[in-house]
């Protein structure tokens, strides 16, 4: 999987700072070559005369289910790019400010040629520190973009007070507690914090989740718990051992956390009425012949409301970790690196979506996966 070209989907509401970030990526000296596909799906960044225009073309998948769509124009552009492999190291797709990122992300799971050559590295969402709270209230796209994110750049922090920043961050965390979050002015995040992150974001779930699950009021759904210290913050300060399996981005990641004060202290604990997340931790192995059909059936049934799902699972008698991610009903998973001796073989699943029925999800997992092991 490592020789697949990483694709970053860059999203964020109108004016949040996507172009500012893109310009930084394209002008900074980092020794990497990025092919960039922008808004109306023209293409910039590798060769100035290679701008490919396309009409908007969206195909429905899964028998017309409205949540599963892919972009034909994007597939064609990517296929064109893939013919020129070797001229660039990674691809960035910038979506329009009001677009739902799902059809873009799903493209990388569905089209066979694209899937074989490229992989979705991360959805990076730019958020405007000053206006996001308003947009979350009046623009469903803005909420979707936060829910989809693997990485959130909370930009324009120069325009708000510390209190306002903590407020907007609390709102973001109510929707998506799992994304890595960076504060920024003029999108000044380290490039490695947003691009070519590999499976690092999934691994972070393993690192932070045990503490997060234990956080006392995580399961309470009241509106405001006052000042709530997310306990997992301190996890970022851990040092890697000699046989650390983290990739080289980790150093910079660590650095970025220190300077950007990742989750912020004293965040208010909000519950979003509409969007939220459910995570499941099972200490132990699962039978792939039970788990995989369950997962497939579950996202087929509930996928319209599940925006993202991800997980790392230990299968019986399988030395490698099974890693999956999905967008709505479309799933993609494979066996990746071996479980390390110091890692507890377990299953960790995260679902982010609209009006998720937490109890029903847990019960379905208990009765249909665990009891059938
Ligand atoms: N004060 C302040 N302004 C910023 C910051 N980042 C970007 N801007 C300005 O905000 C405006 C919008 O930024 P863009 O990067 O064009 O935003 P965008 O998300 O690409 O916008 P659309 O293409 O309309 O979706 C520009 O005038 C930027 O100069 C910031 O951190 N602070």
**pLDDT tens by residue, 271-295:** 888 888 898 999 999 999 999 999 9
Query: What is the band of 40 on the pLDDT scale with cuts at 50, 70, 90?
Result: low
CA 90 to ligand 1 center in whole angstroms = 24
The protein residue with its alpha carbon nearest to ligand 1, atom 6, reads 186
Q: Which range scores top for mean pLDDT: 139-148, 247-256, 264-273? A: 139-148
What pLDDT score was predicted for residue 139?
Answer: 85
Question: pTM of whole model > 0.95?
Answer: no
Whether 13 has a pLDDT exceeding 70, the answer reads: yes
Q: What is the mean pLDDT of residues 213-230?
A: 37
CA 318 to ligand 1 center in whole angstroms = 48
Cα 21 from Cα 44, distance rounded (Å) = 15
Whether 266 has a pLDDT exceeding 50, the answer reads: yes
What pLDDT score was predicted for residue 337?
Answer: 87
The SS3 call for residue 229 is coil
Whether 313 has a pLDDT exceeding 50, the answer reads: yes
What pLDDT score was predicted for residue 48?
Answer: 36
Percent of the chain predicted with pLDDT > 90: 35
CB within 6 Å of ligand 1 — which residues? 12, 14-20, 97, 126, 155-156, 158-159, 185-187
Query: What is the band of 41 on the pLDDT scale with cuts at 50, 70, 90?
Result: low
Cα 240 from Cα 238, distance rounded (Å) = 7
- Closest to 267 in 3D by CA, of 236, 238, 237, 232: 232
Cα 259 from Cα 182, distance rounded (Å) = 9
Encode 84-111: b = buried (16+ Cβ within 10 Å), e = exposed: eeeebebbbbbbbbebbbbbbbbbbbbb
Strand boundaries in 162-298, DSSP class E: 180-183, 227-228, 267-268, 275-283
| Relative orientation angle of helices 200-214 and 249-260, to the nearest 10 degrees | 50
Query: What is the band of 222 on the pLDDT scale with cuts at 50, 70, 90?
Result: very low
CA 296 to ligand 1 center in whole angstroms = 40
Q: Which of the two residues, 281 and 202, has the higher pLDDT score? A: 281
CA 100 to ligand 1 center in whole angstroms = 20
What pLDDT score was predicted for residue 59?
Answer: 56
Cα 145 from Cα 294, distance rounded (Å) = 27
CA 287 to ligand 1 center in whole angstroms = 48
Residue 28 half-sphere exposure toward CB, CA atoms < 13 A: 15
Cα 168 from Cα 353, distance rounded (Å) = 19
Residue 78, H or E segment: helix 72-82
Q: Pocket of ligand 1, candidates 10, 11, 17: which has the most ligand atoms within 8 Å of its Cβ, to mutate? A: 17
Query: What is the band of 201 on the pLDDT scale with cuts at 50, 70, 90?
Result: low
- Closest to 299 in 3D by CA, of 41, 67, 2: 67
The protein residue with its alpha carbon nearest to ligand 1, atom 13, reads 17
Q: What is the mean pLDDT of residues 98-126?
A: 85
Q: ipTM of this predicted complex? A: 0.97
What pLDDT score was predicted for residue 68?
Answer: 62
CA 187 to ligand 1 center in whole angstroms = 9
- Contact assessment for residue 13 and residue 99, using Cβ atoms and an 8 Å cutoff: no
- Which atom of ligand 1 is nearest the CA belonging to 12? 19
**pLDDT tens by residue, 140-195:** 889 999 999 999 999 999 999 999 999 999 999 999 988 889 999 999 999 989 99
Residue 106's contacts (CB-CB under 8 Å, 6 or more residues apart) are 61, 68, 69, 70, 327, 328, 330
Q: What is the mean pLDDT of residues 14-22?
A: 90
Q: Is 159 left (phi over 0), alpha (psi -120 to 50) or beta?
A: alpha
The protein residue with its alpha carbon nearest to ligand 1, atom 5, reads 186
Q: Pocket of ligand 1, candidates 19, 165, 260: which has the most ligand atoms within 8 Å of its Cβ, to mutate? A: 19
Q: Pocket of ligand 1, candidates 20, 145, 157: which has the most ligand atoms within 8 Å of its Cβ, to mutate? A: 20
- Contact assessment for residue 372 and residue 287, using Cβ atoms and an 8 Å cutoff: yes
Here the tokens at position 153 are: 């750049």
């Amino acid at each position: 999987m490592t020789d697949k070209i990483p694709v970053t989907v860059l999203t964020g509401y109108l004016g949040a700072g996507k172009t500012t970030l893109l310009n930084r990526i394209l002008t900074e000296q980092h020794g990497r070559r990025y092919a960039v596909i922008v808004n109306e799906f023209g293409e910039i960044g590798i060769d100035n005369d290679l701008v490919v225009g396309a009409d908007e073309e969206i195909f429905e998948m899964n028998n017309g289910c409205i949540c599963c769509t892919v972009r034909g124009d994007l597939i064609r552009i990517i296929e064109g790019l893939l013919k020129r492999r070797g001229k660039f190291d990674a691809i960035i797709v910038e979506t329009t400010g009001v677009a739902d990122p799902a059809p873009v992300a799903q493209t990388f799971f569905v089209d066979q040629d694209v899937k074989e050559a490229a992989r979705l590295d991360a959805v990076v969402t730019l958020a405007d520190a000053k206006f996001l709270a308003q947009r979350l209230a009046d623009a469903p796209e803005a909420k979707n973009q936060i829910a989809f994110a693997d990485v959130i750049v909370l930009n324009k922090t120069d325009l708000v007070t510390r209190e306002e920043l903590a407020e907007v961050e609390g709102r973001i965390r109510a929707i998506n507690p799992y994304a890595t979050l960076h504060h920024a002015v003029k999108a000044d995040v380290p490039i490695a914090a947003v691009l070519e992150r590999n499976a690092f974001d999934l691994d972070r779930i393993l690192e932070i989740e045990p503490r997060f699950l234990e956080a006392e009021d995580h399961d309470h759904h009241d509106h405001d718990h006052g000042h709530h210290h997310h306990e997992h913050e301190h996890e970022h300060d851990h040092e890697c051992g000699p046989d650390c399996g983290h990739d080289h981005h980790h150093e910079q990641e660590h650095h970025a956390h220190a300077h950007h004060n990742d989750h912020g202290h004293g965040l208010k604990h909000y519950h979003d009425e509409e969007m939220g997340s459910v995570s499941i931790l099972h200490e132990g192995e699962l039978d792939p012949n039970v788990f995989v059909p369950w997962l497939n059936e579950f996202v087929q049934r509930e996928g319209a409301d599940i925006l993202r799902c991800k997980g790392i699972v230990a299968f019986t008698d399988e030395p490698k970790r099974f890693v999956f991610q999905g967008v709505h009903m479309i799933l993609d998973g494979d066996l990746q690196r071996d479980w390390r001796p110091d890692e507890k073989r377990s299953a960790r699943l995260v679902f982010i979506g609209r009006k998720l029925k937490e109890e029903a999800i847990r019960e379905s997992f208990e009765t249909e996966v665990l009891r059938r092991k």
